Amino acid sequence: MPSSLPAQPLRIALLQSSGRPGSVATNLKVLDEAAGRAAAAGAGLLVCPEMFLTGYAIGRDEVHRLAEAADGEGADAVADIAVRHGLAIHYGYPERDGDAVFNSAQLIDATGTRRANYRKTHLFGGFEQEVFTAGEQPVVQAELDGLKLGLMICYDVEFPENVRAHALAGTDLLLVPTAQMHPFEFVAESLVPVRAFESQMYIAYVNRTGPEGEGAAGDAAFEFVGLSCLASPDGATRVRAGRGEELVLGEVDAALLHASRETNPYLRDRRPGLYGSLS
């Protein structure tokens, strides 16, 4: 194994929860409780779903009202939780920057330091395209415990170019908070493990769960399907949540990562000179 990779696996916790949409205070309490459980189980990193801090299907006005800067009060509260429990936290939230609001995710380490902030580059559907401004930086990374972490959000992972860009930049573990809904369960079940295999990395895909928001007919606007998972570079699903509220734990093993990269020739056998016409 290369000396740059850690000798011990990183245990990570995936928090599959929608919390309470519209209530930042309640969601911080949910996060605090989950961080305590994750730390007690030996996790060094807790990954939360897309827009966890505020809720996803809360409407344009509420998203814009609750949006805050990357170093705002919500970030301070998450940092406090990270320090008290001694683990890094990756969470989704609406980020305000001037007049623009982004669908963002931020990584805060166990010292309370903000390590990386990512703005979703591919906005899904009319709701997101109306509410958010698209980000323009496709590859955002941070080092944690000897691993190179990459940040992405939901729909972004469905574009193979995005994940391959992370592979070429050396990402070992790709964090993907998501708000993935019915009837697209195949993304969690099939697509994510394939992405991990074809680009030779771990992918932590962490979803919301249950109905959220109100549709035009009075039914739920979205039905989030859970199925959060940790997929590994050998194409296996190391851990998989069910459909409800759940905290699941898995390990990112640098030895497995190295062995898989040695065996799988995809990245070595690429012929970039042939691909120019595809872009």
The enclosing domain of 185 has a CATH number of: 3.60.110.10
What mean pLDDT is predicted for residues 42-70? 97
pLDDT of residue 278: 76
What does the H/E/C string look like for 191-219? HHHHHHHHHCCEEEEECCEEEEEECCCCC
Residues in contact with 103: Cβ distance below 8 Å, sequence separation at least 6, in sequence order: 50, 51, 92, 94, 95, 119, 120, 123, 128, 131, 132, 153
Residue 4 in domain: no
Instruction: Please give the pLDDT value at position 267.
Output: 95
- Per the structure, the count of domains in the chain is 1
Say which of 48, 128, 148, 154 is annotated catalytic: 154
- What pLDDT is recorded for position 266? 94
* CA–CA gap between residue 159 and residue 31 (Å, rounded): 29
In a domain? residue 27? yes
**Is the pLDDT reported for residue 130 higher than 90?**
yes
**Average pLDDT, rounded, for the chain:** 95
Residue 276 lies inside a defined structural domain of this protein = no
Q: Is 277 within the bounds of a domain?
A: no
Given the residues 48, 50, 68, 95, select the one marked as catalytic: 50
Considering the candidates 48, 95, 120, 128, report the single residue annotated as catalytic.
120
> Average pLDDT for residues 138-146, to the nearest whole number?
97
Would the CA dihedral through 96, 97, 100, 102 be positive or negative? negative
As a whole number, mean pLDDT of residues 237-253 equals 98
The percentage of residues in the chain with a pLDDT greater than 90, rounded to a whole number, is 92
148 is catalytic: no
The size of the chain, in residues, is 279
Q: What DSSP designation does 124 have?
A: -
What's the confidence (pLDDT) of residue 220?
Answer: 74
pLDDT class for 221, splitting at 50, 70, 90?
confident
216 has a pLDDT exceeding 70: no
Per residue in 91-118, pLDDT (tens digit) is 999 999 999 999 999 999 999 999 999 9
Q: Are 13 and 248 in contact, with CB atoms under 8 Å apart?
A: yes
For 102, the domain range is 10-269
Q: How confident is the model at residue 253 (pLDDT cuts 50, 70, 90)?
A: very high
Q: Is the predicted pLDDT of residue 213 greater than 90, yes or no?
A: no
Which distant-in-sequence residues (6+ apart) come within 8 Å of 86 by Cβ?
39, 110
Q: Is residue 2 part of a domain?
A: no
pLDDT of residue 123: 98
| CA nearest neighbour of 50 among 139, 144, 124, 149 | 124
- 3-state class of 142 per DSSP? strand
Tokens 């099939």, residue?
190
Q: Does residue 50 carry a catalytic annotation?
A: yes
Residue 10's pLDDT band, with cuts at 50, 70 and 90, is very high
- What pLDDT was estimated at residue 217? 60
With respect to residue 5, please indicate whether it lies within any of the assigned structural domains.
no
In a domain, 248, yes or no: yes
Residue 120 bears catalytic tag: yes
Would residue 142 count as lying in a domain?
yes
Strands 173-177, 147-151: pairing is parallel
